[in-house]
Structure 1
Amino acid sequence: MSDKTTICLLIFENGYEVESRSTVRDVNDFRAVIGKDKAYEKSLKRAVVALGAFLK
C-alpha cells in the first residue's frame, strides 16, 4: 500500500474477517484520522451485509 491508503480489518469472534480501505488521489490530501474513519465505516457496512444472513 502507499502512504495515502488506510486499511481496516475487522475480525469477528466467529472467525469472519471483513477488510476495507480508504485512499485519496493526492498524498497532500491524506488525513489519517479521516482515512481511518472512512475505512472503518466501509468495513462495518460490509460486515452488516455479509453477516446479515446469520441474523435471519
Structure 2
Amino acid sequence: MAKKERAGTAQAAERQRERAKNTAAEARAKSAAREARYMSAKTRGMQQKAQAKRG
C-alpha cells in the first residue's frame, strides 16, 4: 500500500512539473507575440514618417 501511495505522489509531482513547463512556454509565446506586434507597429510608424517627409 505504501509503495502505491509513493508512486502516486511521484506521478502527481511529474504532472505538476509538466503543467509548470506548459505555462512557462505559453508565457514565453505570449510575450514573443507581443514583441512582434510592438515591432511591426514601430516599423509601420517609421514608414509612415518617412512617407510624410517625402510628401
TM-score category (smaller protein): 0.3 to 0.5
TM-score for the superposition, normalised by structure 2:
0.40
Higher helix fraction: Structure 1 or Structure 2?
2
Higher strand fraction: Structure 1 or Structure 2?
1
TM-score for the superposition, normalised by structure 1:
0.40
